[in-house]
Amino acid sequence: MKIVVTELIWEEGLEILRELGEVVYDQTLWKSDNLAEIIKDADALIVRNQTKVTKALMGQAPNLKVVGRLGVGLDNIDVAAAKEAGIKVVFARNANAISVAEYVFSAMFSFSRPLEKASQDVKQGNWNRKLFTREEIYGKTLGLVGVGEIGARLASRAKAFGMKVIGYDPFLPPYELACTDIGVSMTSLETVLAEADYISLHVPLNDKTRNLINKERLATMKKTSYIINTARGGVINEEDLYEAVKAQIIAGAALDVLEKEPPTGNKLLELDNIIVTPHIAGLTEEAQVRTSELVARECAKVLCGQGSMCIVR
């Protein structure tokens, strides 16, 4: 077997893969002009979010049986083309959901209790107690757009903090509306946007969600509300978000993801009320060990002809 890994993977995953055969691992391979040549005799291709797994690329690899995604979002993989070619796509269902939920808390607290800003201010010689008097998140409303693995974990944690949680997810099957068990009141997108103090996006990027949050929808949010995007850059129209934050139509935003990563000349980076991080919401040691092990195991199952729990249908 030949397994090609084009982006960062943890050692725990590599150990499993090495038991299957030859592992070609280079975390810069995703941008190599030679990738097609390198995978031409590969049985498995393992990627994160930067490798563009196109129909043309897969077409160069006649032995390819499985594409493993070290994460959840599949927007960089042509899943339909893989299916057509009989190539399985497996992903790390659940593995980074807790980390992303915790990141969203960190973002909410960055707005409600900005410790780092306050600390910097003190180190500059100030003692601005009034300036840093802010708000509790207790009693505030968290609005979820997408109530899947991450949304559900975020909801249960938000309830523990005494927040009201409302959610919009038209694709949630009725049996999973047991979401109400974790205290999410399911409602329309309009209500989530109009009522939430913090709006957190947890949808995949696809034709239906691209630019889901645009000028018209931003205008329906509370002036005091914040939006947190750990989903994908394209889910918010960045030009519209820039205008909305600049004109104080909303209070601010925390963005872990951008349309172009890393950004070049992105105006959002100029605004004080926008926090930007380098796509790290799922990047914790725990999540990455889980992700690497899970994807390596699920790829191994496909290669060994056993059923995988994480195949994208």
Ligand X SMILES: O=C(O)CCC(=O)C(=O)O
Does the protein bind ligand X through residue 200 (CB under 6 A)? no
Establish if 49 lies at the interface with ligand X (CB under 6 A): yes
Which are the contacts of 29, defined by CB distance < 8 A and separation ≥ 6?
A: 4, 5, 6, 7, 35, 38, 51
For the question of residue 18 being annotated catalytic, the response is no
Shortest CB 203 distance to ligand X, Å = 11
Under the binding rule (CB under 6 A), the answer on residue 282 touching ligand X is yes
Residue whose CB is less far from ligand X, 143 or 282? 282
Which residue of 90, 100, 182, 236 would you call a contact of ligand NAI, by CB under 6 A? Answer: 100
Q: By CB under 6 A, is residue 147 in contact with ligand NAI?
A: yes
* 204 binds ligand NAI, rule: CB under 6 A: yes
Minimum CB distance to ligand X smaller for 94 or for 273: 94
46 lies in the binding site for ligand X (CB under 6 A): no
* Residue owning tokens 């180190």: 123
Measured CA to CA, the distance from residue 12 to residue 114 in angstroms comes to: 36
- Which residue of the chain is nearest ligand X when measured via CB? 71
Q: Is 279 a catalytic residue?
A: yes
Q: Report yes or no: 214 and 237 within 8 Å, Cβ to Cβ.
A: yes
Torsion angle (degrees, nearest 10) of CA 196, 99, 311, 3: 140
Q: Identify the residue among 72, 104, 255, 310 touching ligand X (CB under 6 A).
A: 72
Which residue minimizes CB distance to ligand NAI? 148
35 φ, ψ to 5°? -55, -45
- DSSP H stretches of helix in the chain: 11-18, 35-38, 55-59, 79-84, 97-112, 115-123, 149-160, 189-195, 215-218, 238-246, 285-303
Contact of residue 172 among ligand NAI, ligand X, none (CB under 5-8 Å per partner type): ligand NAI
Is 232 among the catalytic positions? yes
Residue from 7, 78, 169, 197 binding ligand NAI (CB under 6 A): 169
Q: What is the spatial distance between Cα 12 and Cα 185, in angstroms, rounded to a whole number?
A: 39
Rounded-to-integer distance, Cα 58 and Cα 53, Å? 7
Stretch near ligand X under the rule CB under 6 A, chosen from 18-26, 65-73, 160-168, 292-300:
65-73
- Report, as residue numbers or ranges, the catalytic residues: 232, 261, 279
Binding site for ligand NAI (CB under 6 A): 71-73, 96-97, 100, 145-151, 168-172, 202-205, 208-209, 230-232, 256-257, 279, 281-282
Binding site for ligand X (CB under 6 A): 48-49, 70-73, 96, 279, 282
